[in-house]
Structures are given as structure tokens and as C-alpha cells.
Amino acid sequence: MLAVYSNRYQIDLGLHVFPTAKYRLIAERLSQRPDITFVEPEPAAWAELALVHTAEYLAKMRDGTLGETEVDQLELPWSAEMVEGFRLMVGGTIQAGLLATGLEVGSQKSKVRRNGSDFRPQTSDFEVVCPVGGGLHHAFPNHGEGFCPFNDVAVAARVLQDRGLVRIAIVDLDVHHGNGTAFIFESDPRVFTLSMHQQHNYPVWKPRSTLDVGLPDGVHDATYLRELERALPQAMAHRPQCVFFLAGADPYEDDQLGGLRLTRDGLRRRDRVVIETVRAAGVPLVVTLAGGYARRLDDTVSIHAATIEEAAAAARG
């Protein structure tokens, strides 16, 4: 399986609850696995970002001219390094979408770098592709929010639509509602947005997804998985040609920003349900990581690594 990753996903944010070191730690943990090949992303082009974001917002991000309230809402300090790191993450999700759907097969761009040398992936390499990052679902067209400067999945979906894909599903299982994504695709019936989240948590304003499942506080594994088994078939009934899965680690019982009570085993079963359901339908799958703020960084890394392991296992078939 292909995993899209760059060392530059680790961004210096000062003292911050968002541990960008997790990306490097996940990649290190998985680096010796023979069934995962790491490929380097290109930064998303500004024109690609403009498929979702307004020119005015992108100019402020590029030039570092966000206002104070905009920085407060983004909850990230602006720096050129931050912008480049997140542009790379968006590029990673775009690349994953193109590889998973086979839209890049045979083109120059499909020559992805492995260990510094070029290679051309085989079809079986990329039915499931994991960007080791992304899931930046709080970003809106005209502003960033909640650690999300750009909405990588929305941009990637728009790129796939530009290349002729019609129906896309976004399965967002981060503990927080996918507000930016819901807003972006509110009036696009081609994109099915499913958000299953803790109802009484950030963000306060939750624009309507195609299907919202707002869970009460403290939900455990069994209830969560039952709700997932009910919701997922509705997304698959959309007959998507690509599924983007936001496998947030923050429904975890020891997460600092989440109020659900899933165990690590429950999260692994969640991932398996989504990945196996999409695979069984023969639909290309992009698995992004999204949030994860466990008290112990090692728990966050382990949960995300398990997600990627489940995807790799499914890709092996």
C-alpha cells in the first residue's frame, strides 16, 4: 500500500495541543513494514486550493496578512513553514485521491518517489492510499478554523471532480463535526458527506452534512459501532467512485479534546468496518488521519498507526 508522507508535516507550532510530531512518529513506526511504501507529496498548487478557497483568503495565507481574529479562529500561529507544511498535506491528499482512483496511471505524475528513486506503482498498490496527515475538515472557503488552514479532502474531491469523477463520499469519523466540509458541499448532491461526531463539542455551529450522526457524551465502543453500521450503508448507497475516510483518533477515551469513550480496540474495529465495507464494494479509498490529542502522544501515534495497518492489511486483500 502507498502512504503519502513528508517530514515537513512536522511543523513548529510552539507549545500547542496539536502534536504535529505525530506524523513523523507514525511514519517512523511503520517505516520497516514491507507492505507499506512511502511516497513524497508535492505541495498543492494555489490554483488547486482555489477550487475550494477564496482568492482573498489564500492571499492572506500566502502573504501572512491574516487579521488577529482570523489567527485566533485558526488557532495556529502563522508562519511560512506552517503554510508550506499544510500545502504539502493537501498535496498529499490530492495525490492519494489520484492514485487511489487510478486517474494518475500512466502519466508522468504517477511516478512517485520511493527511497529517492522513481518507480511506477502497480494497480494493486493503490486501491487504498493513506496520506499520513490531512483530514483538515474545519477549514471553510474563506477562513481556517480549529487547526485547519486548508480543507485537504474538499480540495482533493474537487480535483477528482475536475478529472471527471461524479460521485464522492466523505466519511468523517473524527470526534468533531466536519463543519467546513459540510458547508463546502452543502449544495453539491454529487458529494455525500457523513459526519459522525460528539454532538456537544466544538464546533458550536454545525452546517448540515448529507448525514449527521451527533452522538451523546461518553458513548462507548458498542453503541458507536452500532451507529456506524447504520450510517455507513447510507453513504455507500450513494454509489461513490471514491471514498475519503477521516479516521480521527480523537473519539478515544483519553483524548483531551474529545468526550467519547472509545477504546483503542474499538477504534481499530471502527477502522476495519469502514475499510472492509469500502473495499468489499470495490471503491477506491483514501484514508486520512484527522485529529488526535490523547494525553499520551504515544496513544495517538498507536491509534493512527493501527488505522494505517488496517488499511495495508485490506490492500493486501
Our CA angle for 285, 287, 290, nearest 5°, is: 150
3-state SS assignment for residue 218: coil
| 176 contacts Zn ion (rule: CB under 5 A) | yes
What are the backbone angles phi and psi of residue 54, rounded to the nearest 5°? -75, 150
Out of 48, 152, 172, 174, point to the residue binding Zn ion (CB under 5 A): 174
Residues 6+ apart with CB under 8 A from 101: 160, 165, 241, 242, 284
| 291 contacts Zn ion (rule: CB under 5 A) | yes
| 177 contacts Zn ion (rule: CB under 5 A) | no
Q: Site map for Zn ion, 241-280, x if CB under 5 A?
A: -------x-x------------------------------
Shortest gap between Cβ of 47 and Zn ion (angstroms)? 28
- Asked if 23 contacts 305 with a C-beta cutoff of 8 angstroms, the reply is no
Query: Which candidate in 53, 137, 138, 238 is catalytic?
Result: 138
Residue 180: CB atoms within 10 Å: 26
Shortest gap between Cβ of 313 and Zn ion (angstroms)? 25
| Number of residues near Zn ion (by CB under 5 A) | 5
Our CA angle for 293, 224, 226, nearest 5°, is: 160
Residue closer to Zn ion by CB (options 240, 248) is: 248
CA proximity to 192, closest of 204, 182, 178? 182
Whether 138 is a known active-site residue: answer: yes
User: Hey, which residues does 148 pair with through a beta bridge?
Assistant: 145
Residue closer to Zn ion by CB (options 146, 284) is: 146
Shortest gap between Cβ of 258 and Zn ion (angstroms)? 7
Q: Which residue is nearest to Zn ion (CB)?
A: 291
Shortest gap between Cβ of 295 and Zn ion (angstroms)? 15
What are the backbone angles phi and psi of residue 112, rounded to the nearest 5°? -95, 150
Residue closer to Zn ion by CB (options 48, 255) is: 255
Give the CA-trace dihedral at 285, 279, 126, 235, to 10 degrees: -20
Shortest gap between Cβ of 176 and Zn ion (angstroms)? 4
Catalytic residues: 138
Binding residues vs Zn ion (CB under 5 A): 174, 176, 248, 250, 291
